[in-house]
Amino acid sequence: MKRHVLSVVMSSAAAVISGTVFVVALFDQYALVEMAASIVTALQAYFVSSAIGDWLEKKKETNRTRNSVAVLMTIFLVTFYSFRKYFH
How far is 86 from 84, CA to CA, in rounded Å?
6
| pLDDT computed for residue 44 by the predictor | 94
Specify the pLDDT at position 77: 94
pTM over 0.85: yes
pLDDT in tens, 31-71: 899 999 999 999 999 999 999 998 899 888 888 899 899 99
Question: How high is the pLDDT of residue 13?
Answer: 94
pLDDT for 52: 92
